Amino acid sequence: MPATSNTDKDALEKPFGINNVRAYVPLTLDLNELNYDAWRGLFEALCLSFGVKHHLDDPAPTNPCPEWEKMDALVKLWLYGTLHPSLLQMILKKGWTANIMWTSLESLFRDNKDARAIELENDLCSIEIGDLSIAAYCQKIKVTADLLSNIDQPVLEKTLVMYMINGLGEKFDQVVGIIRHQQPLPSFFQVRSMLLLERSRLAGLRPTHGSHRDNSSSPSALVTSFGQ
């Protein structure tokens, strides 16, 4: 019996040895980042490995003992430490257990999914290059597509490339025509490389080692350039 008692005591004290929850859950849960699924996986793994996952899954017992209340308070502190301040204000309620906080966060993000997906899809198809650099333009598109993936609405590579070339200005018409006729359609990052090359050409920054055949009207030259 004493050995079992010591083991139980060690199991109860082990979670309190965590000094920095960020070492286990490096993500900050944020409605704007749409990173709930990744955050949830990390937080569940933490609680499972330290034997306190039942505080997430199960409601509070009718008459909780002091040990249960102490452990539940610890799990809540872990939650507090991984939330964006705006989220923390929404769920920091008196009397809420870790389970209530956990289920409330799930409802909040699940209910927000469809509305955010529509909003992000509209954003994605309306992105234009304007005064952005090629790098900033491509980054903006990629970030929006990644946010959609985070809420289980991944964008097909072909669709992403079409959004990418549709938002370019007229000065890129030549390279866009080349891209549209590539079979198969180049990947997102291949198109990005082609656009960077075309921007350099338009700015008069052609590589000095290029020959008279290395111009944007030659599909083979462009393919060779971004494939290297």
Which pLDDT score, from 0 to 100, does residue 47 have? 95
Residues 13 and 105 in one domain: yes
Which pLDDT score, from 0 to 100, does residue 5 have? 53
Task: Give the total number of structural domains in the chain.
Answer: 2
Instruction: Print the SS3 string covering the chain.
Output: CHHHHHHHHHHHHHHHHCCCHHHCCCCCECCCCCCHHHHHHHHHHHHHHCCCCHHHHCCCCCCCCHHHHHHHHHHHHHHHCCECHHHHHHHCCCCCCHHHHHHHHHHHHHHHHHHHHHHHHHHHHHCCCCCCCHHHHHHHHHHHHHHHHHCCCCCCHHHHHHHHHHCCCHHHHHHHHHHHCCCCCCCHHHHHHHHHHHHHHHCCCCCCCCCCCCCCCCHHHHHHHHHC
Domain termination site, one of 55, 85, 112: 112
Residues 131 and 108 in one domain: no
Tell if the pTM clears 0.85, that is, is over it.
no
What does the mean pLDDT of the chain come to?
84
Q: Is the residue at 117 inside a domain?
A: no
Which pLDDT score, from 0 to 100, does residue 10 have? 61
Domain termination site, one of 78, 112, 146: 112
Residues 103 and 11 in one domain: yes
Q: Is the residue at 140 inside a domain?
A: yes
Which pLDDT score, from 0 to 100, does residue 146 have? 87
Which pLDDT score, from 0 to 100, does residue 216 have? 42
Residues of the chain short of pLDDT 50, as ranges, are 1-4, 207-228
Residues 84 and 156 in one domain: no
Residues 22 and 80 in one domain: yes
Which pLDDT score, from 0 to 100, does residue 107 have? 86
Residues 89 and 162 in one domain: no
Residues 102 and 150 in one domain: no
Q: Is the residue at 118 inside a domain?
A: no
Residues 100 and 133 in one domain: no
Residues 81 and 173 in one domain: no
Q: Is the residue at 173 inside a domain?
A: yes
Structural domain boundaries, residue 177 = 127-227
